[in-house]
Structure 1
Amino acid sequence: MRRVFGVKKDKEPPPSIQDASDRITKRGDTVEEKIRKLDVELNRYKEQIKKTRPGPAQEAVKARAMRVLKQKRMYEGQRDMLYNQTFNLDQVAFASEGIKDAQQTMSALKSANKELKGMMKTVKINDIDNLQDEMMDLMDVSNEIQETLGRSYSVPDDIDEEDLMGELDDLEADMGTETESEGMPSYLQPDRESDLDSELNLPSAPNTAPAGRANAQAQDEFGLPAVPRSSLRN
């Protein structure tokens, strides 16, 4: 059968929009290069026409320049046609990409919608309200526990304002009595000074009263009465 009818050839896949656009752009670049070469040739003819005197030679140069100019116009028409085709392909590609983006967006939205529906089945408003109520009850119980643990022991609760004022008056009277009886503080009383001297074991102050020139006591380099050495040994 294969020998009679042959084997069916696989069809090549049609070119994509990007492939067609690249091919047309390449052709447009080729035509653009030809136009640039013709521009250079026209400039050369322009300089020759300026340098040539009017006559047959100048007319010949003008004829060649006219032929090049016609060729340039033809290439420019082809270039514009190719650019228009490229522009149309770019518009189609943009529309195709937009549709693909829309399809992906719809697929993502459908997936998200399905996921949200599944999550909503597990979350109920009544459950949230009950949970909030339980949390409030637990907080109230916690506050009661803290107040109970912070309660003071053996503190009378039957004290009123009159008892408070009476206690304050008694304290004020007691403080006034102590002040009148003591008068001067104990550390400023005269007897306390001798007690401090005996505790520190300090020598008694020498008598500095003059008793004649012979009995005058020796003085140190600062003009103060000298302390006897026997006192320093003690």
Structure 2
Amino acid sequence: MNRIFGKKKDTGPAPSLSDAGARVDERTRNLDEKIKVLDQELLRHKHALAKAKGQAAVNIKRRAMETLKRKKMYEAQRDQLAGQQFNIEQTNFTIDSIKDTQTTVQAMKGANKQIKSEFKKMNISEIEDTIDDLADYMEDMNEINDIMGRSYNVGDEIDEADLDAELACLDDELAAMDELGIDDDAGGITATAGTARPSYLAPSRPAAAQSQVALPAAPARPLDEYGLPVAPTREPAQQQQIM
């Protein structure tokens, strides 16, 4: 049978793109060397042609034309090999891209399985309950902070509007006293009413006036936390006499 149809030749494994690319690169380098030699030869012909005359110039010109033709042929071959090399590189790039894509897909499949496995360990209802509990705790903490920040020195019955009105009355009273020429003495006692003006409402006195000796004044009545005089309290002895 093999005598009639012949035996199939064992060509071996197909060459890889890397081998084909290396072979094309080697051929391209050989052509570049040949073109370089021809360029040097053309340069010599050019210098010789500049000095030759007559038949010698004709012979030099003919050899230069033959050299130029061979150079053009080598350049055309090099351009063909450059096209082949470009196709090989593009094919190799496509193969590498496919391999990278396959690797990426396999990695994503593994990540997908891991995500599913980890997601099964999570309970959305428990997460929602946890967030709701945290919100309740935050609200309770804010309420506790409000309670701890309350002031117990001022009663609830005192209103800011009442305080403003009372302060306006004090201003009117002080203005009327200034118009009448009534002034506080060193102890802060008025000449007519006998009540003490709060220290923060007392007018400032010049240094010369302060250096003068002031007449003894009646003791000032104590003031409450709003700057108003406190009603005097009776001593125990007075209470017994009354009884």
**TM over 0.5, yes or no?**
yes
1:146 corresponds to which residue? 145
The residue type paired with residue 31 of structure 1 is L
Q: Distance in 2 between matches of 1:44 and 1:190?
A: 128
Shift of 1:151: 5.1
Deviations 1:108-160 (A, max 9, x none): 33233333333333334433322222112212322333344445669765668
1:178 corresponds to which residue? 189
- The structure, 1 or 2, with the larger RCO (C-alpha pairs under 8 Å, 6+ apart) is 1
Shift of 1:191: 7.2
Q: Distance in 2 between matches of 1:104 and 1:38?
A: 50
Is 1:84 matched up with 2:95? no
Q: Distance in 2 between matches of 1:46 and 1:59?
A: 12
Cα distance change on mapping 1:29 and 1:144 into 2, 3 Å:
same
The residue type paired with residue 25 of structure 1 is D
2:59 corresponds to which residue? 60
SS at match of 1:145: helix
Shift of 1:90: 1.0
Percent of counterpart pairs with the same letter?
A: 41
Cα distance change on mapping 1:144 and 1:53 into 2, 3 Å:
closer
The residue type paired with residue 104 of structure 1 is T
SS at match of 1:180: coil
2:120 corresponds to which residue? 121
Cα distance change on mapping 1:47 and 1:151 into 2, 3 Å:
closer
Query: How do residues 1-234 of structure 1 correspond to structure 2 at under 5 angstroms?
Result: 15-55=15-55, 57-150=56-149, 178-180=189-191, 188-189=212-213
Structure 1's unaligned 5+ residue stretches are: 1-10, 193-234
Shift of 1:104: 2.6
SS at match of 1:53: coil
TM-score, length of structure 2 as denominator length: 0.54
Shift of 1:26: 2.5
Q: Distance in 2 between matches of 1:85 and 1:65?
A: 31
Cα distance change on mapping 1:28 and 1:188 into 2, 3 Å:
same
Cα distance change on mapping 1:178 and 1:29 into 2, 3 Å:
same
TM-score, length of structure 1 as denominator length: 0.56
Shift of 1:89: 0.8
Q: Which has the larger radius of gyration?
A: 1
Q: Distance in 2 between matches of 1:14 and 1:191?
A: 128
Cα distance change on mapping 1:152 and 1:64 into 2, 3 Å:
closer
Cα distance change on mapping 1:153 and 1:81 into 2, 3 Å:
closer
RMSD of equivalent CA atoms: 4.3
SS at match of 1:122: coil
Cα distance change on mapping 1:111 and 1:187 into 2, 3 Å:
same
The number of aligned residues is 178
